[in-house]
């Protein structure tokens, strides 16, 4: 009997299409918000939302990943949903309490220097809704309802980007109306995800209940505690490090530099959208493979998909780095010209973010959370030291590089950390670390060279200067064609052998014959 759960490829395609549909949301927001809010308020908005986003990450402490892995293995066990609903209420209460504490000037002015304190509760609610929607979406991935879930995200995203554009053209857009638009978008998505989950379980005649039988709650608490308590230290250290580095930037350089770094972060997030579609699905497959004690399958998944996702990210990142000046001019305008270098540096962030999520998912799926804790402690030491050296003024033994310094720290530290994760994973899985490491270097060099040649070629051909939009588009088309031809001629760029390509072509032809 054929499974009713869509295949990994089909679920990835729907996730990818949904991510493509959300690209306009990011592009429109990053073309509108910097211009509408200006560098200072944009920096304040970014700092406040980042503070509470890091707080929700700390309060999560890996419990959402535990929930995802457990539900992937026991898809009809709705008691897990009832239990995690209680965790959600607890997280919401703590976040609101933290926002209220920050209204005290002594505490608020220390933790949010030169940022209006009334932003704290608005940012707190935004951070909770963002986290909650992510949990509900991952729940649909866990039970195999990815297709319907991503359709919900696509429809809501397209509707909300139209609303954002209308608000901008009608001159209604400010930080207050922006939060209202975000609440509406996140709320509609969360509702849609939940309705998809309910319909999925009803179709399987699975009863959904929030009440837990006697002893069941205790069993769940033990399961989640055993999985997550090693992550407490990791979550705490990550929260302190990521919050502290943004606080250092705010304290030493102010909201304008914060706005420059925020723009660079958003551009890097847009590059990562195409890769993020696949990582939760691979994590699900890794979790299932580990449940079957199939290390060979886990190794095959990483060997096949890690280099592929790296190159997909590199395709966008290399073009963004080379065309950074044009992108900043399009999105931020003249006020954000100084954000060009941070944007170019942060363009490299999605590359190892893809590897990091896959390598980290190995330790989550296998329950080796102590490794994650120990790595977080180590990263806290060299990460904060690097941040202080790059951000602090000369009198405090620093270089005072502002947004540029934080971008350098973010990318450099991630490269080191991710490759350590990859090496550790290769110690117990059939995975070649050095092959992957070499692929990171040479594939990046090839794509960077190709992007640079396209930019220089279009300028030498007289199609416009560096920031001309028509030249930028032509350069992008030439670059895309060049990358496509390169991948066909040299499949190793994608981490594939020619035999792999022949097998994929054969499968594609076979699927077309079946469809016919």
Structure confidence at residue 4 (pLDDT) = 43
d(CA 241, CA 247): 10
What number of other Cβ atoms are within 10 A of residue 71's Cβ? 23
Please indicate, yes or no, if residue 155 is contained in any of the structural domains: yes
- Choice between 441 and 305, residue whose per-residue pLDDT is larger: 441
Please indicate, yes or no, if residue 408 is contained in any of the structural domains: no
Place of tokens 């297709």: 147
d(CA 405, CA 400): 7
Where residue 216 falls (left for φ over 0; alpha for ψ -120 to 50; beta otherwise) is alpha
Confidence of residue 278 (pLDDT cuts 50, 70, 90): low
Please indicate, yes or no, if residue 451 is contained in any of the structural domains: no
Please indicate, yes or no, if residue 18 is contained in any of the structural domains: yes
pLDDT in tens, 474-489: 999 999 999 999 998 9
Q: Rounded to 5 degrees, what angle do the CA atoms 199, 128, 361 make?
A: 75
Decide: helix, strand or coil at residue 51.
helix
125 within 8 A of 161, measured Cβ to Cβ: no
Mean pLDDT score, 362-369: 78
Decide: helix, strand or coil at residue 348.
coil
SS3 content of the chain, % helix, strand, coil (to 5): 85, 0, 15
Structure confidence at residue 9 (pLDDT) = 56
Structure confidence at residue 461 (pLDDT) = 93
Residue 23 has pLDDT above 90, yes or no: no
- What tokens does 384 get? 């904060």
If one counts the domains in the chain, the total is: 1
pLDDT in tens, 440-455: 999 999 999 999 999 9
d(CA 338, CA 260): 7
Mean pLDDT score, 83-106: 94
d(CA 328, CA 31): 9
258 within 8 A of 46, measured Cβ to Cβ: yes
Confidence of residue 8 (pLDDT cuts 50, 70, 90): low
Q: Flag the least confident range among 4-18, 64-78, 251-265.
A: 4-18
Domain extent at residue 150: 1-212
- What tokens does 72 get? 């992937």
Structure confidence at residue 382 (pLDDT) = 92
Residue 349 has pLDDT above 50, yes or no: yes
Distances (CA, A) of 100 to 52, 94, 97, 158, 325: 12, 10, 5, 34, 41
Mean pLDDT score, 426-449: 92
End-to-end CA, the chain: 22
- Average pLDDT taken over every residue of the chain: 85
Confidence of residue 513 (pLDDT cuts 50, 70, 90): low
Please indicate, yes or no, if residue 306 is contained in any of the structural domains: no
How would DSSP label each residue in 115-163? S-TTHHHHHHHHHHHHHHHHHHHHHHHHHT-HHHHHHHHHHHHHHHHHH
What number of other Cβ atoms are within 10 A of residue 435's Cβ? 12
Please indicate, yes or no, if residue 217 is contained in any of the structural domains: no
Please indicate, yes or no, if residue 191 is contained in any of the structural domains: yes
Structure confidence at residue 45 (pLDDT) = 94
Residue 15 has pLDDT above 80, yes or no: no
d(CA 150, CA 146): 6
Structure confidence at residue 208 (pLDDT) = 66
Please indicate, yes or no, if residue 208 is contained in any of the structural domains: yes
Residue 381 buriedness (CB in 10 A; 0-12 / 13-18 / 19+): exposed
């Amino acid at each position: 009997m054929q499974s009713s759960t869509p295949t990994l490829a089909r679920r990835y395609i729907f996730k990818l299409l949904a991510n493509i549909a959300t690209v306009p949301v990011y592009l429109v927001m990053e073309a509108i918000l910097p211009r509408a809010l200006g560098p200072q308020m944009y920096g304040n908005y970014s700092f406040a939302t980042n503070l509470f986003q890091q707080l929700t990450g700390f309060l999560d402490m890996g419990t959402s990943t535990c929930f995802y892995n457990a539900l992937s293995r026991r898809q009809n066990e709705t008691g897990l949903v009832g239990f995690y609903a209680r965790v959600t209420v607890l997280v919401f209460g703590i976040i609101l309490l933290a926002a209220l504490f920050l209204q005290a000037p002594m505490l608020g002015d220390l933790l949010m220097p030169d940022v209006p304190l009334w932003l704290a509760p608005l940012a707190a609610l935004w951070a909770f809704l963002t986290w909650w929607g992510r949990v509900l979406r991952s729940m649909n991935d866990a039970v195999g309802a990815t297709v319907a879930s991503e359709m919900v995200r696509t429809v809501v995203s397209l509707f909300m980007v139209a609303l954002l554009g209308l608000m901008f053209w009608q001159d209604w857009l400010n930080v207050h109306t922006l939060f209202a638009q975000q609440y509406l978008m996140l709320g509609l998505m969360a509702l849609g995800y939940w309705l998809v989950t309910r319909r999925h379980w009803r179709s399987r005649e699975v009863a959904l209940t929030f009440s837990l039988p006697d002893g069941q709650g205790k069993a769940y608490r033990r399961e989640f505690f055993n999985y997550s308590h090693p992550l407490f230290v990791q979550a705490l250290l990550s929260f302190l490090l990521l919050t502290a580095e943004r606080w250092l930037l705010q304290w030493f350089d102010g909201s304008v530099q914060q706005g420059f770094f925020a723009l660079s972060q958003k551009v890097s997030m847009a590059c990562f959208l195409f890769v993020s579609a696949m990582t939760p699905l691979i994590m699900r497959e890794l979790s299932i493979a580990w449940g079957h004690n199939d290390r060979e399958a886990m190794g095959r998944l990483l060997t096949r998909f890690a280099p592929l996702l790296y190159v997909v990210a590199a395709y966008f990142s290399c073009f963004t780095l080379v065309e950074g000046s044009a992108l900043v001019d399009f999105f931020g305008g003249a006020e954000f010209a100084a954000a060009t270098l941070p944007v170019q540096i942060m363009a490299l962030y999605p590359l190892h973010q893809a590897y990091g999520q896959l390598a980290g998912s190995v330790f989550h799926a296998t329950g080796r959370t102590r490794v994650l804790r120990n790595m977080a402690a180590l990263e806290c030491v060299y990460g904060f030291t690097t941040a202080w050296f790059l951000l602090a003024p000369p009198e405090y033994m620093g270089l005072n590089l502002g947004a540029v310094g934080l971008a350098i720290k973010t990318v450099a530290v991630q490269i080191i950390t991710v490759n350590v994760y990859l090496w550790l994973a290769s110690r117990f899985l059939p995975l070649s670390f050095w092959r992957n490491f070499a692929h990171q270097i040479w594939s990046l060099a090839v794509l960077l060279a190709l992007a640079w040649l396209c930019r220089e070629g279009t300028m030498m051909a007289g199609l416009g200067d560096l920031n001309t939009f028509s030249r930028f588009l032509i350069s992008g088309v030439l670059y895309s064609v060049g990358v496509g031809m390169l991948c066909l001629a040299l499949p190793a760029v994608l981490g594939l052998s020619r035999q792999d390509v022949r097998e994929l072509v054969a499968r594609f032809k076979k699927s077309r014959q079946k469809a016919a």
